[in-house]
Amino acid sequence: MIRFTDVEKRYDNGVDALRGISMSIEDGEFVFLVGHSGSGKSTIIKTLTGEVLPTAGRVMVNGFSLNKISERQIPLMRRTIGVIFQDFRLIETKNVYENLSFAMRAVGASPKAIKQRIPYVLDLVGLAGRSRRFPHELSGGEQQRVAIARALVNNPTTIVADEPTGNLDPARSYEIMQLLERINRLGTTVLVVTHELDLVKRFHKRIIVLERGRIVSDGKERPIRPVHRWE
Amino acid sequence: MSKGHNFSYFIHEGVSNMFTHGFMSFAAVGVTVACLLIMGTFTLVAYNINEQLHRLEQDNQILAFVDDSLNDLEARALIDDIEGIPNVRSVEFISREQALDAYISQYEESERDIFDGMEASVLRHRFAVHVTEISLLGETAASIDAVDGIARVKAYEDVASGFVAMRNVASVVCIALIAILFLISIFIISNTIRLTTFDRRDEIAIMKMVGATNGFIRWPFVYEGFLLGLLGSLIGFLLQWALYEFVARGVSASDTMQLIQMVPFSQIWHYVAAIFGLSGIVIGVFGSLTAIRKFLRV
């Protein structure tokens, strides 16, 4: 479960990125977080992953209080979250299998566990048979599937996707969202940060709208703001 | 989490990263070799200068003249008293006759007739004494002078103190220069390794993102630094050996450098190997640790 209570974040340069954010995402939920550039979406992700600490307020992520978290606990907290980025962030010198095994090895998984887990996850994201391909041999959609597989491979309770379809065409974007929806149905909490409202509207999910560091809308209804204001 | 498969993973990653990032590894090894060669050459030159000075010091002797009242046997018996004095390395008895012969032999054959009929009794029996530590020459000479039966002692203290001063200055200058070179080497190598690490900041970021601990991220880099340092020191040692032998042969073959005696490499190779190995490993591991520190702060 993710819970933000009156969270504020002011950066050293004086920018107020978050101004009193309060929200709660329950286990197993699928939530879209939308807003234009500078609305505070990235700061929310960085706060969730422990990259930045809030200036005020309380943040709870999967049982960890990020206000009191020690340096030793941060890696343990991060193991509960799988992060997906717009630019995939795959290691170009490693093939698909190695990219996934690298992520498993990084948390100390045994070779046996790696051999068992990777084929299952690759099958789940529709990349069975692609394990020996290198990232540059895959399409953008396939690369994002590898990134999703990597986020899933350590069996996190939450997936956080930061603009996962930003580099993809509409058809591939829709497929990626469907894949995330399928993963959510298997019990994983999914938080998708995006500015693509047209895509978001095709899925009847909870939408949290951010503007200038504040939540201006939260619910399953269609957001009030027109699309062009955000892009 | 099993420690055993983690350890083999660290080793495997360290070795494979070295080959995967071949050019940067080559750069790091190259810089290590260059730094060790410069430092090693300088150290070996300093060591040889020191040894040369030490040899010249050893030639410096004390002459102890025996009292005229003692007969031959009594004079020769003083050798035990002198040998018992601390810092005395060797003692040689020189009889009046030997001293006269040596004195005359300094002159040209044609001039020696002026010494015809000269009695050896005009000279004294004497001892040529060599000391172990030249800086204690004055004290040793005084102790010899105090021996009953020794009339007078002649020691070239000025020359001795000159050697001591020269050796001290050379040692201080060498230590200072070697320390500076060592620091510069660490700086250059840690920056080279930092470049290799910068090349892999994405890998580190991914490891951090999936929840790897700093220790887990650090170990493969430590092994890699260790291996790069070891490889650099091995290549550096072999090149140093070749360079040393080349210079030693050049010196021994040269007419103008006959006085210089270089220490054979076979006598010092194990020290050079140990210093190179240790320096390479310290530089590699320390360089890796300092280079990676910045990327772990996420």
Q: What number is the ipTM of this complex?
A: 0.81
Closest CA to A4 of A39, A36, A45: A45
- Domain with B23 in it: 3-56+161-296
Question: Do residues B176 and B250 share a domain?
Answer: yes
pLDDT tens digits along B64-85:
999 988 888 888 889 999 999 9
Query: A14-51 burial, b if ≥16 CB within 10 A, otherwise e?
Result: eebbbbebebebeeebbbbbbbbeebbbbbbbbbbbbe
pLDDT the model gives residue B1: 45
pLDDT tens digits along B142-169:
999 999 899 899 887 777 677 778 778 8
Question: How far away is chain B from the Cα of A224, in angstroms, using its nearest Cα?
Answer: 34
Residue that is last in its domain, among B155, B171, B189: B155
Cβ atoms within 10 A of the Cβ of B114, count?
Answer: 9
Q: Which residue of A has its CA nearest to B9?
A: A105
Closest CA to B82 of B176, B181, B153: B153
**What's the average model confidence in pLDDT over B250-273?**
84
Q: What's at A219, amino acid-wise?
A: G
Which one has a higher pLDDT value, B207 or B120? B207
Q: Which residue of B has its CA nearest to A77?
A: B211
pLDDT the model gives residue A212: 92
Q: The whole model's pTM is what?
A: 0.66
Cβ neighbours of residue B128 closer than 8 Å, sequence gap 6 or more: B61, B62, B63, B91, B92, B94
Residue that is last in its domain, among B155, B181, B201: B155
Question: Do residues B18 and B41 share a domain?
Answer: yes
Question: Do residues B43 and B168 share a domain?
Answer: yes
Question: Is it the case that residue A84 has pLDDT exceeding 90?
Answer: yes
CB contact under 8 A, A75 and B217: no
- B296–A contact, CB cutoff 8 A: no
Sheet with A16-25: strands ordered across: A16-25, A2-10, A56-61, A64-65
Please state the three-class secondary structure of chain A as a single string: CEEEEEEEEECCCCCEEEEEEEEEECCCCEEEEECCCCCCHHHHHHHHCCCCCCCEEEEEECCEECCCCCCCHHHHHHCCEEEECCCCCCCCCCCHHHHHHHHHHCCCCCHHHHHHHHHHHHHHCCCCCCCCCCHHHCCHHHHHHHHHHHHHHCCCCEEEEECCCCCCCHHHHHHHHHHHHHHHHCCCEEEEEECCHHHHHCCCCEEEEEECCEEEEEECCCCCCCHHHCC
Q: Which residue of B has its CA nearest to A50?
A: B298
CB contact under 8 A, B210 and A107: yes
- How many interchain CB pairs under 8 A, A with B? 52
CATH number for the domain spanning B107: value is 3.30.70.3040
Question: Do residues B25 and B42 share a domain?
Answer: yes
Question: Is it the case that residue A16 has pLDDT exceeding 90?
Answer: yes
Question: Do residues B252 and B184 share a domain?
Answer: yes
- B206–A contact, CB cutoff 8 A: yes
**What's the average model confidence in pLDDT over A77-93?**
91
CB contact under 8 A, A106 and B212: yes
Question: Is it the case that residue B135 has pLDDT exceeding 90?
Answer: no
- B205–A contact, CB cutoff 8 A: yes
CB contact under 8 A, B211 and A77: yes
pLDDT the model gives residue A226: 45
Q: Which residue of B has its CA nearest to A76?
A: B211
Query: Is the separation of the CB atoms in A145 and A125 below 8 Å?
Result: yes
CB contact under 8 A, A76 and B206: no
Number of domains in chain B: 2
CB contact under 8 A, B203 and A102: yes
Which candidate from A49, A91, A108 shows the least CB-CB separation from B202?
A: A91
Residues of chain B neighbouring A103 (CB-CB closer than 8 A):
206, 210
Question: Do residues B263 and B126 share a domain?
Answer: no
Question: Do residues B143 and B230 share a domain?
Answer: no
Question: Do residues B84 and B175 share a domain?
Answer: no
Take residue A71 and report the two structure tokens written for it. Answer: 């340096």
CB contact under 8 A, B217 and A106: yes
Q: Give the pLDDT band of residue A199 (cuts 50, 70, 90).
A: confident
Residues of chain A neighbouring B217 (CB-CB closer than 8 A):
106
Which one has a higher pLDDT value, A24 or B158? A24
Residue that is last in its domain, among B115, B140, B155: B155
Question: Is it the case that residue A228 has pLDDT exceeding 50?
Answer: no
**What's the average model confidence in pLDDT over A144-150?**
95
